[in-house]
Amino acid sequence: MKLSVLIFGAFLMSSVASGAEPSSEPFGKTKDGQPVEIYTLKNKTGITAKVMTRGATLVQLHVPDKAGKSSDVLLGFDSVSGYESDDNQYFGCTTGRVCNRIAKGKFTLDGKEYTLAINNEPNHLHGGLAASLDKVVWKAAPYSSEKGQGVKFSFTSPDGAENYPGNLSVTVSYFVPSDENSISIEYSATTDKATPVNLTNHAYFNLAGEGSTTVLDHSLHLNADKYTPGDDGMIPTGEISPVEGTDLDFRKPTRIGDRIESIGKTAAIGYDHNFVLNAKKSGEEMTLAATLTESTSGRKMTVTTTEPGIQFYSGNFLKGQKGKGGKVYAHRSALCLETQHYPDSVNHSNFPTTILKPGEKFASKTTYTFAIETPVSKK
């Protein structure tokens, strides 16, 4: 038995190293009968990711802890039916056409007013209802090389889908490098009419392993001196304000639970705020966005991105639903770190623009890198 396990392990490492394409298997069918596939990406350092065609969704992400034991650090479900249920709160999906909120579901572009679905009263959230990017089935093209394994998803959102203008052609690529503890997500989009575009991944992380009871003991650092204050509907006022002197100051690593109770008394019911990332250094393509650590497992996750903002959401509306393996996802048992443009940017001329025009290309990249946090020795 031990010999067969060793042979299988050697075969697996050899196949990863030789550039074998990601494996795939059925993941169920949607309610309207569309088959959904799930792809497995592996590397030599112990990272395993699973991504499915519905919603170009990151379903699993297995990462080693300080003892070398791998655990899945993402919330999700065991089949596509879970993702179509009311228990799904955008777990791991590609969110858009426009992620986050648009005030009262309205914007004006080239002199025409557009009205979108109100699915987060009184606002529009994460691209809308049945035709938002998280709810459609994408085409998948797996690829591999000596550098690693990936899957490129593609979908064309037709003109008028969710009442957005333009035929929007979108790709989302997940890539796991052969010998690095990381996963990257790259987005691209083109359009034949001017339209707002703001894409992100809505992964829920718990570095102690999904199903663990809380993220309040995680330590978070955000590379952001400023944030965008919002109203009771979490729509930005248009101001860009300093975090200094507020409960939103994560410029130094801070235990998430230390100040959450005061934030919990606000309309956000916890952290659900957009942070303005500090400017990139000259010559940098990517900027540091966040660092998250969990002491029991020793896992540390560093987030880098090309995006100007990051939404920190502390899982305030998780309701005890059952996810993978029947595990219970309790209130604040996972968090999101969504790299993106600012909420409601389409209605704020002083924010970085989200308008994509014909002849232009939207491009964005975010990388999640994992390591083991080394405790500081005390003398």
Please name the residues in contact with 230: beta carbons below 8 A apart, sequence gap of 6 or more: 236, 237, 268, 273, 274, 343
Q: Hey, is 107 helix, strand or coil?
A: strand
146 catalytic per annotation:
no
Please name the residues in contact with 348: beta carbons below 8 A apart, sequence gap of 6 or more: 236, 238, 342
Strands 148-157 and 168-177: antiparallel
Residue 98: burial class (beta carbons within 10 Å; 0-12, 13-18, 19+): buried
Q: Report the largest interatomic distance among the alpha carbons of the chain, rounded to a whole angstrom.
A: 70
292 and 218 Cβ atoms separated by less than 8 Å: yes
95: tokens are 């969110």
Catalytic member of 126, 338, 341, 373: 338
Strands 200-201 and 362-372: unpaired
285 catalytic per annotation:
no
For tokens 């394994």, name the residue: 149
117 and 130 Cβ atoms separated by less than 8 Å: no
Length of the chain, in residues: 379
In this structure, what are the phi and psi dihedrals at residue 19, rounded to the nearest 5 degrees? 85, 25
Separation in Å, CA 292 to CA 58, 228, 340: 19, 21, 18
Taking the C-alpha atoms of residue 28 and residue 135, their distance in angstroms, rounded to an integer, is: 14
Catalytic member of 84, 126, 162, 202: 202
Catalytic residues: 202, 338
